[in-house]
Structure 1
Amino acid sequence: MQKDSERRDAGLGSPPRSLLLATDLSCRCDRALDRAVMLASAWGAKLHVLYVLEGNEPEQGPEPVPGGSVRALAERHLRAATRNHDVEAEIVIERGDPAEIILRTANELDCELIVTGIARSGNLARAVLGTTVERLVHRAPMPVLIVKMRPWRAYPTVVVASDFSETSAHALRQALSVFPDARMILAHAYRVPFEGFISRAAHEAELLADAERQRAAFLPSVGAPPDRLEQMEYLIRYGTAESVIGTHVWDNDIDLVVMGTHGRSGRFGILMGSTAERLLICLHCDVMIVREPRALSATIGAGGASAGPRLSGNG
């Protein structure tokens, strides 16, 4: 693994030194806890475990469960997860709106990554992602890692979804910084415009060549060391982003996809708008959302500073 000094000299950041895990202590959130512990251990980072009490929810559980408080349950989960890992961790319990508390706490504790899970998957995933998680990826200045899979290894391969925009360049830089030892695959999907009226066979070769030209022009904007770009692999194929990336993830047992977000006007505008929203819902693997730095200035300029976190050196 590269030393932090070598990575700074190469124009890349370092893995996070402080993580925030947002959990509801459900069985499915155990996956996010295990992943957060694994990452904190690998990076030598401090782990903050946050549980948010909503409304009149009591911190003390029902009697006669001995020590049945939220804090006692969180401590038990944390002890089990860190048993074989050397991790500095603390538990934070707050009361209020989950998304607001998560953002405020991550900001106050200078956390560089938020880790969270989803309550359930399958047909109900859209409803889950439409609440706290969606609000987090709209507003968090730091990346948000959404854990879906049971973690049993580090991320050996990371797929970065790209539309060759500055947003995608920022997401790729973050992926290279956060996961310096992972095999990187830059994925781009293209389609024939007005496909119902224009022959795919007659234009696909031209569109592929154009996508390759865009890739060549895009790479210098990333600012990554030439050797990292040379090691990178590329997936440029015809189809929708969901079909191209989803099929590759499934066929190659990929554990993580990274995507960038514009965060326009509070709407879910990742890469090509609703495309990435569909990716976030349909992918069975973990997903890390990286917000475009320019969107943060727009949020604060529109009065977002009072409701959301301040900028904290994340680009």
Structure 2
Amino acid sequence: MHVILLATDFSERSDRALRRAVLLALESGASIHLLHVVDDDRPRHIVDRDTLDARTLLDKLAHTLQNVDGVSCNTRVIQADPFAGITTAAKDINPDLLILGPHRRQILKDAFVGTTAERTIRAVGCPVLMVNGPPVGHYKQTLLTTDLSDSAQTALQHFERLGIGMDNGMAILHVFDAPALRLAMVDTLSKESQDAYLQDLSADARRKLANCVSTIGVKRPQQIVRHLETSIAHEILTTAGDTSSDLIVVATQGAHFVARMIMGSVAEQVLQSSSVDVLAIPPNPEKYQ
């Protein structure tokens, strides 16, 4: 990893993201590009004043990062809608990783267009890290998620190239569906038949997950399969808690049952509900095309 783009609004949430960016930069030797987007849908004199203030604050941050933390740093201020500004900067800079502060929910707006983070993840061609947890140190336990599709496996291979948390604990989760148990006629099946059906599906899922692990380059992760009982996002968050994970990795699209949900609702639900960091990776980041 060589270049990290950090979008900041100078809030406490963004300070958390900044500290995580510094930790990752020190770990990888990457430089940091600090970005602030000034909302330009306001009177010009306000936009110009905020732009000047933002440049001053970014310069101070960059000075601290370079002289105190020893991290190479550049700054940029863009006048635009926050979503448009971040996507423009990501296209221009082509970072290995884009880092955002944690989700700030605005119920009505989110219901119609999604948060800036979720819209950005859909639009940019690089992995996006949302920093939810306190950045007290390097990641200790990572939870990878996969639907076993080719695109999900490719995304996990890109995660391996980023080198984040590779020397620490690692688990990989696959959530499998049991469609027969969702049919109206399920009550006609005995408990023994239902258990046998689940055991067969679980064994098949474990075999497929083991094959997946052998192709992604991640060394010896704990392999976990779960039956989909509530929602995929719930299963992911529950597993993250069970494994004491401080980073969840999700692919942003895929090919079949689980995959169709990964970016449509699953990843967004994880982003909105997770108390730990979430790394969303497109299956074909532009950096590697």
TM-score (norm 2): 0.81
For 1:82 and 1:241, the matched residues in 2 are separated by 42
- Please report the RMSD computed on the Cα atoms of aligned residues, expressed in angstroms: 3.0
For 1:144 and 1:242, the matched residues in 2 are separated by 18
* CA offsets 1:286-310 (integer angstroms, 9 cap, x no match): 11111122xx8xxxxxxxxxxxxxx
Deviates more, 1:21-30 or 1:111-120: 111-120
For 1:165 and 1:263, the matched residues in 2 are separated by 6
Tell me the equivalent position of 2:9.
24
SS of the residue aligned with 1:271?
helix
2:224 to 225, 228, 235: 235
1:260 to 236, 244, 251: 251
For 2:247 and 2:235, the matched residues in 1 are separated by 15
1:205 to 191, 199, 204: 199
Deviates more, 1:107-116 or 1:212-221: 212-221
> Aligned runs of 1:1-315 on 2, under 5 Å?
16-55=1-40, 56=42, 57-60=46-49, 69-78=53-62, 84-118=68-102, 120=104, 130-178=114-162, 179=164, 180-196=166-182, 197=184, 198=186, 200-222=194-216, 224=217, 228-229=218-219, 231-239=220-228, 240-262=231-253, 271=262, 273-293=264-284, 311=286, 313-315=287-289
Say if 1:118 and 1:129, in contact at 8 Å, map to a contact too: no
Quick one: structure 1 residues 217 and 252, their matched pair in 2 at CA, closer, same or farther if it must change by over 3 Å? closer
Superposition deviation, residue 129 in structure 1: 8.8
Tell me which amino acid in the other structure corresponds to 1:150. P
Superposition deviation, residue 253 in structure 1: 2.9
For 2:223 and 2:254, the matched residues in 1 are separated by 26
Say if 1:260 and 1:270, in contact at 8 Å, map to a contact too: no
For 2:200 and 2:266, the matched residues in 1 are separated by 23
Deviates more, 1:69-78 or 1:208-217: 69-78
* CA offsets 1:263-308 (integer angstroms, 9 cap, x no match): 89xxx95537422322222221111111122xx8xxxxxxxxxxxx
Say if 1:19 and 1:40, in contact at 8 Å, map to a contact too: yes
Matched residue count:
270
For 2:32 and 2:212, the matched residues in 1 are separated by 35
* CA offsets 1:151-198 (integer angstroms, 9 cap, x no match): 001112211111101122122112222223232211112232153433
Say if 1:32 and 1:116, in contact at 8 Å, map to a contact too: yes
Structure 2, unaligned runs of 5 or more = none
Deviates more, 1:44-53 or 1:185-194: 185-194
For 2:113 and 2:249, the matched residues in 1 are separated by 16
For 2:65 and 2:113, the matched residues in 1 are separated by 25
Quick one: structure 1 residues 181 and 128, their matched pair in 2 at CA, closer, same or farther if it must change by over 3 Å? farther
Superposition deviation, residue 125 in structure 1: 10
SS of the residue aligned with 1:69?
helix
Say if 2:3 and 2:95, in contact at 8 Å, map to a contact too: yes
Deviates more, 1:124-133 or 1:186-195: 124-133
* CA offsets 1:208-256 (integer angstroms, 9 cap, x no match): 012112223433443x2xxx44x22111122343333212222443211
Quick one: structure 1 residues 33 and 129, their matched pair in 2 at CA, closer, same or farther if it must change by over 3 Å? farther
Tell me which amino acid in the other structure corresponds to 2:8. T
Superposition deviation, residue 123 in structure 1: 7.5
* CA offsets 1:90-139 (integer angstroms, 9 cap, x no match): 22111112222222222322311111113536989956991321221112
Say if 1:48 and 1:92, in contact at 8 Å, map to a contact too: yes
Structure 1, unaligned runs of 5 or more = 1-15, 62-67, 297-310
Superposition deviation, residue 85 in structure 1: 1.8
Tell me which amino acid in the other structure corresponds to 1:58. V
Tell me which amino acid in the other structure corresponds to 1:111. P
